[in-house]
Structure 1
């Protein structure tokens, strides 16, 4: 198959209730305000948005995110990804003390031809780029919710 990736990130947001974190995470249109790597968001329909992302490496990803599950009481959201990446992304929120832990799980296959072609040699750079992007998202969300 090739060009498949699994990622898991944990974001700790101290002194922010889970309900506020959940509201921010499901409000895709607000992402460019707090996540510098999300360059634009276009709402396609009530359950689907198209995001354009670019981090450190010189390529952009165009990804459609389609809501599959959204349960604010359980603190769970899952979206199906199509476009340059295909797979899923889920977020699980857990109140911890006066803060919130957000665990983000992604399982994707690169569909963008450049990523597929370079996968074998550039995989460490793609993984590092993803880690950088997630750190910036975590910092941006924490600042946005402060």
Structure 2
């Protein structure tokens, strides 16, 4: 494994229905609204030549004082159970979201296989990998809390 390669799995367990959680997590343009601490800007950037799917240009951050510019698009989807994506730019690789109903909860797993291509990250990964990995998990923990708030907001708006 190259020093700038990362595999970072994340597991969330959240009260809800698999369809509602999937609908939120599969709507990339809406991340900026409900996960604003990490997704600073999202805009459409054309269509992917390989998949024909819409590409989104993302500006993201973690807890550390740097930002990442990268593009992402869906590569495959099996609603409401699986969604795969690819990334290019400061982060290059692939990720897969999996959603499984478990009683009144949804088990969510995100497998993120990515290379850090931003020069600072790429060339410092050999020594800073634990810190960069921690930065990712900080962002994902913020994501879980943001997802909980978004589910509550939607339920309140629907009068549930």
TM range (shorter): over 0.9
**Equivalent position of 1:83 in the other structure:** 89
Aligned length, in residue pairs: 144
Which 4+ residue blocks in structure 1 deviate beyond 6 angstroms? none
TM norm structure 1: 0.94
**Equivalent position of 1:138 in the other structure:** 144
Give, in whole Å, the separation in 2 of the partners of 1:132 and 1:44: 27
DSSP 3-state at the match of 1:123: helix
Shift of 1:114: 0.7
**Equivalent position of 1:40 in the other structure:** 41
How do residues 1-146 of structure 1 correspond to structure 2 at under 5 angstroms?
1-14=2-15, 16-35=16-35, 36-45=37-46, 46-73=53-80, 75-146=81-152
Shift of 1:47: 2.2
Mean Cα displacement is larger for which, 42-51 or 84-93?
42-51
The gaps in structure 1 that reach 5 residues or longer are none
- The Cα RMSD (Å) is 1.1
DSSP 3-state at the match of 1:57: coil
Shift of 1:2: 2.3
Shift of 1:33: 1.6
